[in-house]
Structure 1
Amino acid sequence: MTVLVGMFGLVLSVGLWASRRNSSIADIDARELILASRSLPLWVALLTMTATWVGGGYINGTAESTFTSGALWGIQPGLGFAFSLTLGGLLFARPMRRRNYVTLLDPLEQRYGRHLAAGLMVTAVLAEIIWSGAVLVALGTTAATILNVDIPTAIILSAGIVICYTCSGGFRAVAYTDTVQLLLIVIGLGVTLPFVVSMAGGLSSVLEGAFPPFRHQREIISYTDLTIVLVLGGIPWNVYFQRVLASKNEQVAAQLSLAAAPLCVILAIPPLLAGLAATNLDWRELAGPEETRLLFENGALALPYVIKYTTPPWVSWLALGAIAAAVMSSVDSSILSAASLITWNGYRALYRPQASSRQISRCIRVFILGLGTLATTFALTVSSVKDLWYLCGDVVYCVLFPQLFLALFDPKANKPGAAAGFMVSILLRLGGGVRTLGLPNFLPYPDWMAESSVDFPFRTFAMVTGLVTTYVVSRCSYKWSPPRPIEPASTRP
Structure 2
Amino acid sequence: MVSVNIPGVVGIICFYLFILGVGIWAARKSKKPSSATRNPQGTDTPANGGMTDSEDVMLAGRDIGLFVGIFTMTATWVGGGYINGTAEAVYDPLQGLILCQAPIGYALSLVIGGMFFANKMRSLGYVTMLDPLQAKYGERMCGLLFIPALLGEIFWSAAILAALGATIAVVIGINGTISVIVSACIAMLYTLFGGLYAVAYTDVVQLFCIFVGLWLSIPFAMTHQAVHSITINSTRWIGSFSANDAAQYVDNLLMLTLGGIPWQVYFQRVLSARTARGAQILSYMASLGCLIMAIPSILIGAVAASTDWSATGYKRTVDNIIIPSERKLVLPLVLQYLCPPAISFIGLGAVSAAVMSSADSSVFSAASMFAHNVVKALFPSASERCILLAMKCSILAVGSLACLLGIMIESIYDLWFLSSDLVYVILFPQLISVLFIPFTNTYGSFAGFIVGLFLRLTSGEKAFGLPVLFYYPGYDYEAGLQRSPVKTIAMLGSLAVSTAVSYLMHRLWLAGKLEGRRDFFGCMSREARAPVNGRRIVSGEKGTDVAKTVEFSTTCSIDKKVADIQGTEQKEEKGKEVGEDDVEDEAEAVGVPLTASENDKGK
TM-score for both structures, normalised by structure 1? 0.94
SS of the equivalent of 1:320 reads: helix
SS of 2:470's equivalent in the other structure is coil
Structure number having the greater helix percentage: 1
- Looking at structure 1, the residues matched to 191 and 233 of structure 2 have their Cα atoms a distance apart, in angstroms, of 40
Please tell me the residue identity of whatever aligns with 2:454. L
1:250 and 1:168, CA in 2 relative to 1: closer, same or farther beyond 3 A? same
Alignment-derived partner of residue 224 in structure 1: 250
Aligned position for 2:274? 248
1:275 maps to 2:322: no
Report the equivalent of 1:265: 291
101, 108, 124: which one pairs with 2:149? 124
Q: Is the 8 A contact 2:83 2:294 kept in 1?
A: yes
In structure 1, what is the equivalent of residue 589 of structure 2?
Answer: none
Change (3 A) 1:213 1:21: same
* Partner of residue 585, structure 2: none
**Aligned-residue identity in percent:** 39
AA at the equivalent of 2:331: L
Once the 2 structures are TM-superposed, how far is the Cα of residue 208 of structure 1 from its aligned partner? 4.6
Q: Does 1:90 align with 2:115?
A: yes
| Offset from partner CA, 1:316-336 (integer Å, 9 cap, x none) | 000000000000000000000
Partner of 2:492: 464
Per the alignment, in what secondary structure is the counterpart of residue 446 of structure 1?
Answer: coil
- State the distance in 1 between where 2:289 and 2:460 align: 34
Q: CA 1:212/1:277 → structure 2, altered by over 3 Å: closer, same or farther?
A: same
Q: Partner letter of residue 487 of structure 1?
A: G
2:232 to 193, 205, 221: 205
Which of 451, 458, 466 matches 1:424?
Answer: 451
**Partner amino acid, structure 2, of 1:50:** T
Residue in structure 2 matched with residue 486 of structure 1 by the alignment: 533
Q: How big is the shift at 1:288?
A: 4.5
> CA deviation digits over 1:264-321, x for unaligned, max 9?
0111111112112222212233234436687422321111111111000001000000
- Could you tell me how far 1:172 is from its partner in structure 2? 0.3
The 1-side partners of 2:205 and 2:146 are apart by 31
Q: Among 450, 475, 483, which residue is 2:503 paired with?
A: 475
Question: Which residue is 2:45 aligned to?
Answer: none
Q: Are 1:44 and 1:175, in contact at CA under 8 Å, matched by a contact in 2?
A: yes
SS at match of 1:205: coil
Structure-2 separation of matches of 1:233 and 1:15: 30
The SS at the match of 2:242 is coil
For residue 362 of structure 1, report the CA deviation from its aligned partner. Answer: 1.1
Q: Given the alignment of the two structures, is residue 404 of structure 1 paired with residue 412 of structure 2, yes or no?
A: no
Q: Which whole-Å CA distance do the structure 2 matches of 1:220 and 1:51 have between them?
A: 31
Cα distance in structure 1, aligned partners of 2:411 and 2:326: 8
Mapped partners of 1:214, 1:138: distance in 2: 28
Aligned counterparts of 2:498 and 2:465: Cα–Cα separation in 1: 27
Match of 1:35 in 2: 59
C-alpha deviation, 1:396, in angstroms: 0.8
What's the CA shift for 1:492?
11
Aligned with 1:334: secondary structure? helix
- Structure 2 residue identity aligned to 1:56: G
Aligned length, in residue pairs: 488
Higher RCO (CA 8 Å, separation ≥ 6 residues): 1
Q: Normalising by the residue count of structure 2, what TM-score does the alignment of the two structures yield?
A: 0.77
Q: C-alpha separation between the residues in 1 aligned to 2:302 and 2:548?
A: 48
Q: Is the 8 A contact 1:57 1:389 kept in 2?
A: no
Task: Check 1:134–1:190 CA distance in 2 against 1; reply closer, same or farther (3 A cut).
Answer: same
Mapping for residues 38-437 of structure 1, pairs under 5 Å: 38-68=62-92, 69-72=94-97, 75-199=100-224, 200-205=227-232, 207-217=234-244, 219-290=245-316, 295-349=323-377, 351-383=378-410, 387-436=414-463
Work out the CA distance in 2 between the residues paired with 1:88 and 1:131: 20
The residue that corresponds to 2:573 in the other structure is: none
Pairwise CA distance, 1:434:
3.7
Q: Which piece of structure 1 moves more, 314-323 or 443-452?
A: 443-452
What does residue 20 of structure 1 align with?
28
Which string of whole-angstrom CA distances, capped at 9 and with x for unpartnered residues, describes residues 32-79 of structure 1? Answer: 320000012321111000000001110111112222233335631000
Using the alignment, how far apart are the partners of 1:213 and 1:348 within structure 2? 51
8 A contact 1:57–1:386 mirrored in 2: no
476-485 vs 270-279, greater mean Cα deviation: 476-485
Contact kept? 2:118, 2:280, Cα under 8 Å: yes
Please list the CA deviations of residues 88-127 of structure 1 after superposition, one character each: whole Å capped at 9, or x if unmatched.
0000000000011000000101111111011101110000
Residues 1:476 and 1:177: Cα distance change in structure 2 (over 3 Å): same
| Alpha-carbon displacement from aligned partner over 1:373-393 (angstroms, at most 9, x marks no partner) | 000011012346754553342
- Of 73-82 and 43-52, deviating more is 73-82
**Counterpart-to-counterpart distance in 1, 2:314 and 2:61:** 54
Cα distance in 2 for partners of 1:415, 1:165 equals 38
Which letter does structure 2 place at the counterpart of 1:286?
A: T
Higher radius of gyration, 1 or 2: 2
Separation in 1, partners of 2:548, 2:210: 35
Q: Are 2:471 and 2:482, in contact at CA under 8 Å, matched by a contact in 1? A: no
Show the counterpart of 1:3.
11
Question: Which residue type is aligned with residue 189 of structure 1?
Answer: L
- The change in CA–CA distance for 1:111 and 1:11 in structure 2 (over 3 A counts) is same
Contact 2:98 2:238 in 1 (8 A): no
Please tell me the residue identity of whatever aligns with 2:157.
S
2: CA distance, partners of 1:492 / 1:160: 40
Partner of 2:544: none
Is the CA contact (8 Å cut-off) linking 1:139 and 1:327 kept in structure 2? yes
- Shifted more, 336-345 versus 424-433: the winner is 424-433
Give the gaps of 5 or more residues in structure 1.
none
- In 2 relative to 1, CA 237–182 (structure 1 residues): closer, same or farther, beyond 3 Å? same
AA aligned to 1:476 is L
Tell me, yes or no, if the aligned pair for 1:38 and 1:245 is still in contact at 8 Å. yes
CA distance in 2, matches of 1:386, 1:269: 23
Distance, in Å, in 1 between the alignment partners of 2:314 and 2:195 is 46
1:336/1:451 CA distance change after superposition, 3 Å: closer
User: What stretches of structure 2 of length at least 5 have no aligned partner?
Assistant: 1-8, 34-51, 515-522, 538-546, 550-603
State the alpha-carbon separation in 1 of the partners of residues 32 and 403 from structure 2.
28
Q: Secondary structure at 1:430's aligned position in 2?
A: helix
Structure 1 window deviating more from structure 2 (177-186 vs 438-447): it is 438-447
Q: Which secondary structure state, in structure 2, belongs to the residue aligned with residue 157 of structure 1?
A: helix
Contact 2:63–2:274 (CA under 8 A) maintained in structure 1: yes
Partner of 2:576: none
User: Counterparts of 2:471 and 2:274 in 1: how far apart (Å)?
Assistant: 47
CA distance in 2, matches of 1:244, 1:97: 7
Give the Cα separation in 2 of the matches to 1:205 and 1:354: 68
Per-residue deviation, 1:444 = 2.0
